[in-house]
Structure 1
Amino acid sequence: MTGLRIIFMGTPEFACPTLRTLIERGENVVAVVTQPDRPKGRGQQTLPPPVKVLAEQHGITVLQPVKVRLPESIEQIRALEPDLIVVVAFGQILPKALLDIPKHGCINVHASLLPRYRGAAPLNWCIINGETETGVTTMMMDVGLDTGDMLLKSATPIDPDEDTQSLHDRMSQLGAELLAQTLDRLVAGELTPEKQDDALTCYAPMMKKEDGLIDWTRSAQDINNQVRGMTPWPGAFSFLDDKLLKVYKVQTASGAGNPGEVVAAGRDGIEVACGEGSLLIRELQLEGKKRMSAGDFLAGYKVPAGALLGKKDGAVGA
């Protein structure tokens, strides 16, 4: 326990382990700031952010400004007199007027080894780009996008079969542990902020649904990375018989054929030729059907060798 008055700013499930760690350490979390409740899912039911649910379970005051940069939002936070603001996947850019409020500044837990993968979707893009290692970084926030001075880092390997969901779950715990270490070093006066080298950075933009369209002219390994990096959201997809085909689990193979062409289909999966090598689809969901293994799918849906996967117009490129 540091004895500091802390405001926690975060929204999704990724932020919850860090907030939970602050609570378990007995930190004085004077308020949680999170995004407004929003419609979710097919039924568009209005649901609270996961961080709000956790905060309310522990009797912590919750603020949900539509825009945190509005003067009234800033003054509401200033009135709480925080010594420190901890930010994890909050979802809004913090203005300088807010960053200047706490005497110890604003510490962000970012899901990459900065300066690599600044931006909204570092978990997705590190897998899509074929990285074998990633990690979390704590940093002092400034007005730039993930450009503040770095504090501590913790690295972790990326398993060759890992998708964004499993990496998300591991990294959220890693971030919570690193934030605890950062707080301990902060109060001990042992933190040495390090400037980021802008020449080493790359950008991880927010994911869009269209990013999931598979281009079968790419290599099997590239598409494998894309599927893993797009799972669970926004999801990788192609088209079969002009129907949307969501692709969840794949593995590389060594078959050959025209890109997008089904090489073979059986209990092990549907093997599709790529620009280099082939890809075995192990788990999928065809439009109008449930998610299932390829073997179960083929028991009720015939996919002959030579069938073509691609876009609705028959093209195979994205």
Structure 2
Amino acid sequence: MKAVVFAYHNVGVRCLKVLLARGVEIALVVTHEDNPQETIWFESVSALCQEHGIPTVTPADPASPELLAQVTALQPDFIFSFYYRHMLPVALLALAGHGAYNMHGSLLPKYRGRVPINWAVLHGESETGATLHEMAAKPDAGAIVAQTAVPILPDDTAYEVFGKVVVAAEQTLWNVLPAMLAGKTPKLPNDISQGSYFGGRKPEDGRIDWSKPAQQVYNLHRAVAPPYPGAWTVIKDTTFVIGNARLSANLPEKAVADLPTGLAVVDNRIVGVCGDGRTLLINELLANGQSVSPAALQNILL
């Protein structure tokens, strides 16, 4: 069986390795040029393809006539998309003799759309996963082939959950691929009316509203904690980013009772006072990429 694969990020790398291990011929990989303005903390699809001698292209637009002609000439049995960042045109999907399939980082139909892991953490979910599904004109709307769930623990950051989802994606593809190669691809309902759709997130979406309850502020921190841009707040024209924090359960109420919401220093510890009177214990606070000590923050707050 021959496949054309659109891939990027760790999910792209691991799922490509699954295809190779299962004996699939990968005729072409379409990937992205790394963005120099983005923190690249993940594995390289291009490097993997170079190691295995797999042809790669990096078109700016997957709907280009040149790419359509190239894939048409290859006559792939399958087209796969593994964390490729663009929707694929229907004309391209139709070229796959045995179907076109995408690996999505949620338990569909929940969290269709962009950055599903970050949204799941932001909303305090206790579970997410990876779903392989048929690609359609609408995003993440085609029939479900297989999915694997992973837990989101109370203190997990989106980065930690992403690591679990990478493994879930690998397991999902590994387990269902023999049936797909045998022409017996499962097709399960994907009722999008029972799910949810979310768009992309920008760094400015990480601004903290300290009037919110502590759990909501903590979920925002977990959802965008480094290597993502981080939850941030501004004091006297300085932007402070929370690097590491926990919901605090050991500060006496009287210690924060008279403090305004926002950053504060209590008993030589940095805390974030939230709208419900509860606090975040901030173990690492950053300004201009450098760690800020409690004493330094206290001087700024005076």
Report the TM-score, using the length of structure 1 for normalisation: 0.85
Instruction: State the match for 1:316 in structure 2.
Output: none
Instruction: State the match for 1:18 in structure 2.
Output: 15
Contact 1:262/1:270 (<8 A) preserved: yes
**What is the rounded CA distance, in whole Å, between the counterparts of 1:194 and 1:115 in structure 2?**
11
Q: Which residue of 245, 253, 262 maps to 1:250? A: 245
Q: Looking at secondary structure, tell me which structure has more helix per residue.
A: 2
Distance 1:134 1:207, change over 3 A: same
Instruction: State the match for 1:169 in structure 2.
Output: 163
- Please report how far the alpha carbon of residue 41 of structure 1 lies from its aligned counterpart in structure 2 after TM superposition: 5.4
Q: Deviations over 1:95-154 (max 9, x none)?
A: 111010011111111000000001110010000000000111110101111111111111
| 1:194 equivalenced with 2:188 (yes/no) | yes
Contact 1:152/1:178 (<8 A) preserved: yes
Q: Calculate the aligned-residue CA RMSD, in Å.
A: 2.3
Instruction: State the match for 1:6 in structure 2.
Output: 3
- Please report how far the alpha carbon of residue 189 of structure 1 lies from its aligned counterpart in structure 2 after TM superposition: 4.4
Q: Deviations over 1:4-53 (max 9, x none)?
A: 101111122332111122223332111111123543459xx9xx982111
- Please report how far the alpha carbon of residue 261 of structure 1 lies from its aligned counterpart in structure 2 after TM superposition: 5.2
Q: Deviations over 1:62-81 (max 9, x none)?
A: 12222111222111111111
**What is the rounded CA distance, in whole Å, between the counterparts of 2:183 and 2:75 in structure 1?**
21
Q: Deviations over 1:193-235 (max 9, x none)?
A: 1232222221232110111100000011111110010022131
Q: Given residue 25 of structure 1, which amino acid in structure 2 is its aligned partner? A: R
Instruction: State the match for 2:294 in structure 1.
Output: 298
- Please report how far the alpha carbon of residue 263 of structure 1 lies from its aligned counterpart in structure 2 after TM superposition: 5.8
Distance 1:261 1:162, change over 3 A: closer
Identity %: 31
**What is the rounded CA distance, in whole Å, between the counterparts of 1:302 and 1:178 in structure 2?**
47
Q: Given residue 280 of structure 1, which amino acid in structure 2 is its aligned partner? A: L
Q: Which moved more, 1:194-203 or 1:56-65?
A: 194-203
Instruction: State the match for 1:145 in structure 2.
Output: 139
Distance 1:155 1:302, change over 3 A: closer
Unmatched 5+ residue regions in structure 2? none
Contact 1:138/1:182 (<8 A) preserved: no
- Please report how far the alpha carbon of residue 265 of structure 1 lies from its aligned counterpart in structure 2 after TM superposition: 4.6
Contact 1:125/1:229 (<8 A) preserved: yes
| 1:286 equivalenced with 2:281 (yes/no) | no
Helix, strand or coil: the match of 1:303?
Answer: helix
Instruction: Trace 1:115-264 onto structure 2 (pairs within 5 A).
Output: 115-231=109-225, 232-253=227-248, 255=253, 256=257, 257-260=259-262, 262=264, 264=266
Distance 1:131 1:162, change over 3 A: same
| Over 6 Å off, 4+ runs | none
**What is the rounded CA distance, in whole Å, between the counterparts of 1:79 and 1:190 in structure 2?**
25
Q: Given residue 108 of structure 2, which amino acid in structure 1 is its aligned partner? A: L
Distance 1:36 1:286, change over 3 A: closer
Contact 2:148/2:171 (<8 A) preserved: no
Helix, strand or coil: the match of 1:79?
Answer: helix
Helix, strand or coil: the match of 1:214?
Answer: coil
**What is the rounded CA distance, in whole Å, between the counterparts of 1:262 and 1:270 in structure 2?**
6
Contact 1:207/1:234 (<8 A) preserved: no
- Please report how far the alpha carbon of residue 172 of structure 1 lies from its aligned counterpart in structure 2 after TM superposition: 1.1
Q: Given residue 83 of structure 2, which amino acid in structure 1 is its aligned partner? A: A
Instruction: State the match for 1:29 in structure 2.
Output: 26
**What is the rounded CA distance, in whole Å, between the counterparts of 1:252 and 1:152 in structure 2?**
35
Q: Deviations over 1:140-187 (max 9, x none)?
A: 101111111111111111011111111112211210121122211213
Instruction: State the match for 2:104 in structure 1.
Output: 110
Contact 1:36/1:49 (<8 A) preserved: no
**What is the rounded CA distance, in whole Å, between the counterparts of 1:298 and 1:261 in structure 2?**
10
Helix, strand or coil: the match of 1:194?
Answer: coil
Instruction: State the match for 1:100 in structure 2.
Output: 94
Report the TM-score, using the length of structure 2 for normalisation: 0.89
Helix, strand or coil: the match of 1:112?
Answer: coil
Q: Deviations over 1:223-276 (max 9, x none)?
A: 11100100221311112343110102111125444321526152xx31221011
Q: Deviations over 1:266-314 (max 9, x none)?
A: 2xx3122101111111112123x52x4x6xx225x1517x949xxxxxx
**What is the rounded CA distance, in whole Å, between the counterparts of 2:192 and 2:287 in structure 1?**
43
**What is the rounded CA distance, in whole Å, between the counterparts of 1:275 and 1:307 in structure 2?**
19
Q: Given residue 19 of structure 2, which amino acid in structure 1 is its aligned partner? A: L
**What is the rounded CA distance, in whole Å, between the counterparts of 1:242 and 1:132 in structure 2?**
36
Unmatched 5+ residue regions in structure 1? 309-318
Instruction: State the match for 1:70 in structure 2.
Output: 64
